[in-house]
Amino acid sequence: MKKTRVFVAGHQGMVGSALVKLLASRSDLELVVRSRAELDLSNQQLVSEFFQENAIAQVYLAAAKVGGIQANSSYPADFIYENLMIQCNVIHAAHVANINQLLFLGSSCIYPKITEQPISESALLTGELEPTNEPYAIAKIAGIKLCEAYNRQYARQYRSIMPTNLYGENDNFHPTNSHVIPALIARFHQAKVSNASTISIWGSGNAQREFLHVNDLAAAAIHVMELPEQTYNAHTQPTVSHLNIGTGKDCTIKELAQTLASIIGYQGEIVFDQSKPDGTPKKCLNVSRMHALGWQHKISLEQGLADTYQWYLNQETLRHS
């Protein structure tokens, strides 16, 4: 049996590694991966040569420059430039190589800062973006529209999914340049180890966020990639350029912090620094279209957080051994 050759761009990142783990268990697929040192996706010529030299049938575009509020605020040029270059190079080169199936992974930050909740796919481009991550969001919107344009002009099957806030193993646990869950796990753990009496968290704690375990996202991505064209089109009409991936449930940052403190065993005081930004006040996705297409998340937030903390502990043990 001839195997389908699948390229996972960004295979060493959190999303890419979760995809590789699931795809590697399939006997009908042959995985193709390249590290950043082997293939710089921001280099147009190298990406073009890679696709011309490899008979790829499917592309998962999970490569991106990502970070939390502070990283986005500090490096806006890096976030918009690097993401635009990666997306344009991979999507166009895939088209030139006559690859018909591509899945682009975006982010729920594409939606307006203030919009109806839960957020449906149709909310895209209906209002102003959250200023702190606007460059990243604009790059991701461009990726969606790029896929949409190739589908319209060349009848490609380039599909886009917009996951909510992700967490899980292989995340970036840097205390300041990471997303909220890994940053808090690292900080709560260190506070526990050092017996710190207080821990300070950005914002009021009232902002509401939805979180999805990366293994659930990987399953959703494969589900969408492999949907028959007729089934996919039937559930994305009237025309939708992308699909929301999430749980449809959110919690406040304060509730998240309290849950993590309990899991980690930190017993000090949690202080919220209201001089720092909250970001978007509420962000929960409408995932009814994905439910209609036969996918739902399986990992509860509490279980996912416990598993992620255990993975973090294992990595800390390896790092210090």
Q: What is the pLDDT of residues 115-133, one digit of tens each?
A: 999 999 999 999 999 888 8
136 catalytic, yes or no? yes
With respect to residue 185, please indicate whether it lies within any of the assigned structural domains.
Answer: no
Is residue 27 a known part of a binding site?
no
Q: Which domain holds residue 78?
A: 4-171+211-248+282-299
How many domains is the chain built from? 1
With respect to residue 184, please indicate whether it lies within any of the assigned structural domains.
Answer: no
pLDDT of residue 283: 85
With respect to residue 256, please indicate whether it lies within any of the assigned structural domains.
Answer: no
With respect to residue 53, please indicate whether it lies within any of the assigned structural domains.
Answer: yes
pLDDT of residue 2: 86
6-20, 65-79, 163-177, 269-283 — most confident range: 6-20
CATH number of residue 144's parent domain? 3.40.50.720
Is residue 298 a known part of a binding site?
no
Tell me, letter by letter, the H, E, C secondary structure of the chain: CCCEEEEEECCCCHHHHHHHHHHCCCCCEEEECCCCCCCCCCCHHHHHHHHHHCCCCEEEECCCCCCCHHHHHHCHHHHHHHHHHHHHHHHHHHHHCCCCEEEEECCHHHCCCCCCCCECHHHCCCCCCCHHHHHHHHHHHHHHHHHHHHHHHHCCEEEEEEECEEECCCCCCCCCCCCHHHHHHHHHHHHHHCCCCEEEEECCCCCEECEEEHHHHHHHHHHHHCCCHHHHHHHCCCCCCCEEECCCCCEEHHHHHHHHHHHHCCCCEEEEECCCCCCCCEECECCHHHHHCCCCCCCCHHHHHHHHHHHHHHHHHHHHC
Is residue 48 a known part of a binding site?
no
pLDDT of residue 50: 98
pLDDT tens, 159-174?
Answer: 999 999 999 999 988 7
With respect to residue 202, please indicate whether it lies within any of the assigned structural domains.
Answer: no
With respect to residue 260, please indicate whether it lies within any of the assigned structural domains.
Answer: no
pTM of the model: 0.93
Question: Confidence class of residue 175 from pLDDT cuts 50, 70 and 90?
Answer: low
With respect to residue 21, please indicate whether it lies within any of the assigned structural domains.
Answer: yes
60, 136, 266, 309: the catalytic one is: 136
pLDDT of residue 181: 93
With respect to residue 127, please indicate whether it lies within any of the assigned structural domains.
Answer: yes
pLDDT tens, 200-250?
Answer: 998 999 999 999 999 999 999 999 999 999 898 888 877 789 999 999 999
Is residue 107 a known part of a binding site?
yes
